[in-house]
Amino acid sequence: MDIISNRKLYTVIGASSLGTLIEWYDFYIFGSLATIISEKFFPPGNPTAAFLATLATFAAGFIVRPFGALFFGRLGDLIGRKHTFLLTLIIMGGSTFLIGLVPSYESFSLAPAVILLLRLLQGLALGGEYGGAATYVAEHAPANRRGYFTSWIQTTATLGLFVSLIVIITCQQTLSKEAYNDWGWRLPFLLSVVLVAFSIVVRLKMSESPLFSKLKKEGKTSVNPLKESFGHKTNLKMVLLALFGATMGQGVVWYTSQFYAQTFLLKTCNIDATQANTWMGIGLLIGTPFFVIFGSLSDKIGRKFIMLAGMLIALLSYRYIFTQFYNYADIKQKTEIVDKTTVNVTRAADKAKPQDSVITTTTNKSFTDGSSYLEVKKETILADKSTTAPKPSIKKTVTLSDSYQWKVIGFVFILVIFVTMVYGPIAAFLVELFPTQIRYTSMSLPYHIGNGVFGGLVPFIGTLLYEYSKTPANPPGDVLAGLSYPIAIAAVCFIIGALYLSNKQQKQAITD
Partner 1 sequence: MNALRRTLGLAWVILGPAAVIFLIYEAYGKIMAQPTQDVYLPWIIIITIFTPIAIGMVIFGLYALKGEYDR
- Residues in contact with partner 1 by CB under 8 A are 46, 48-49, 52, 56, 59, 63, 233, 236-237, 240-241, 243-244, 449, 453, 457, 460-461, 464, 468, 492, 495-496, 499-500, 502
Classify strands 372-381 and 393-399 as parallel, antiparallel or unpaired.
Answer: antiparallel
Considering beta carbons, is residue 342 or 471 the nearer one to partner 1? 471
Shortest Å, Cβ 305 to partner 1: 16
Shortest Å, Cβ 91 to partner 1: 22
Considering beta carbons, is residue 382 or 498 the nearer one to partner 1? 498
Considering beta carbons, is residue 137 or 243 the nearer one to partner 1? 243
Shortest Å, Cβ 499 to partner 1: 6
Shortest Å, Cβ 117 to partner 1: 17
Shortest Å, Cβ 232 to partner 1: 13
Task: Classify each residue of 109-121 as buried b or exposed e, where b means 16 or more C-beta atoms within 10 Å of its C-beta.
Answer: eebbebbbebbbb
Closest alpha carbon to 140 in 31, 247, 9, 240: 9
Considering beta carbons, is residue 427 or 461 the nearer one to partner 1? 461
> Can you count the helices (H) and strands (E) in the chain?
23, 4
Shortest Å, Cβ 53 to partner 1: 8
What string of DSSP letters covers 263-300?
HIIIIIS-B-HHHHHHHHHHHHHHHTHHHHHHHHHHHH
Shortest Å, Cβ 251 to partner 1: 12
Exposed/middle/buried for residue 291 (C-beta within 10 Å: 0-12, 13-18, 19+): buried
Q: What is the Cα gyration radius of the chain?
A: 24
Considering beta carbons, is residue 190 or 236 the nearer one to partner 1? 236
Shortest Å, Cβ 492 to partner 1: 7
Stretch (H or E) spanning 363:
strand 357-366
Coil, strand or helix at 451? helix
Neighbouring CB atoms inside 10 A of 477's CB total 16
Considering beta carbons, is residue 161 or 453 the nearer one to partner 1? 453
Closest alpha carbon to 18 in 282, 206, 262: 206
> CB pairs under 8 A, 24+ apart, for 169-178?
169/274, 169/277, 169/278, 169/281, 172/273, 172/274, 173/274
Closest alpha carbon to 310 in 469, 490, 485: 490
Considering beta carbons, is residue 50 or 276 the nearer one to partner 1? 50
Determine the Cα–Cα distance for residues 303 and 327; give it in Å rounded to an integer. 36
Considering beta carbons, is residue 335 or 471 the nearer one to partner 1? 471
Shortest Å, Cβ 307 to partner 1: 17
Question: How far is the CA of 204 from the CAs of 82, 83, 193, in angstroms?
Answer: 8, 9, 16
What string of DSSP letters covers 145-211?
GHHHHHHHHHHHHHHHHHHHHHHHHHHHHHS-HHHHHHTGGGHHHHHHHHHHHHHHHHHHTPPPPHH
Shortest Å, Cβ 468 to partner 1: 7
Considering beta carbons, is residue 116 or 200 the nearer one to partner 1? 116
Considering beta carbons, is residue 190 or 491 the nearer one to partner 1? 491
